[in-house]
A and B are shown apart, each in its own frame.
Chain A
Amino acid sequence: SQTIHQWPATLVQPVGSPLSLECTVEGTSNPNLYWYRQAAGRGLQLLFYSVGIGQISSEVPQNLSASRPQDRQFILSSKKLLLSDSGFYLCAWRLLGQLTEAFFGQGTRLTVV
């Protein structure tokens, strides 16, 4: 069966520090991978998605970047965090196909102080 792992679950980082959040998927191949951010009291905002190794699409200009060094690994990074980067970050995967749903990781609560 397929599983998705996202870590860490919570993170408190000072302004200006770097960030690295990791997401891995097991039990499937060539998934589409997604990073979402959920700010307090708001819906989900798509940050990045990837359809293959090294292929990253950015949805909104921001202080973050993403990389996909391996087929089932998706990393969200920042060189210098801002206060506005605080939020709940969710990784997700889905297979190609019109009717396929997305499966989400448990999320990372990032607080920038």
Chain B
Amino acid sequence: AQSVTQLDSHVSVSEGTPVLLRCNYSSSYSPSLFWYVQHPNKGLQLLLKYTSAATLVKGINGFEAEFKKSETSFHLTKPSAHMSDAAEYFCVTRDVRGGKLIFGQGTELSVKP
């Protein structure tokens, strides 16, 4: 069965420093992978998605993620954190049998001035 594991429940960085949010997936198939961001009391917004066309995926707001099959990872990165990046981030995969989305537990990103 497919699953995603977000390795950190909370990450804290200083403004202007790099961001790394880690996600590992488990799948017997070529997975569909997504990263979503959720600001407090808001819905989820898609940051980027892996479509198997390219292993390095660029998303909105300067975020990108690299699909590494050998490491079963899909980590989210950003070269320089901004205060507005403080939010909850979810790594998501899709159940190939029924199409349901499978969410990681989320990583809360804090950005210090």
The chain A residues found within 8 Å of chain B, CB to CB, are: 6, 32, 34, 42-44, 46, 49, 88, 90, 92, 94, 96, 98-99, 101-107, 109
The reply to whether B43 and A101 form a contact with Cβ atoms under 8 Å apart is no
> A98–B49 Cα gap in the complex (Å)?
11
User: Beyond A34-B101, A43-B106, A99-B32, is A106–B42 a contact (Cβ under 8 Å)?
Assistant: yes
- Residues of B within 8 Å of A, CB-based: how many? 21
| Chain A residues positioned under 8 Å from B45 (CB to CB) | 104
| Chain A residues positioned under 8 Å from B105 (CB to CB) | 42-43
| Chain B residues positioned under 8 Å from A44 (CB to CB) | 90, 103
> A103–B34 Cα gap in the complex (Å)?
12
> A90–B44 Cα gap in the complex (Å)?
9
Contacting A46 at CB < 8 Å: which of B36, B46, B101? Answer: B101
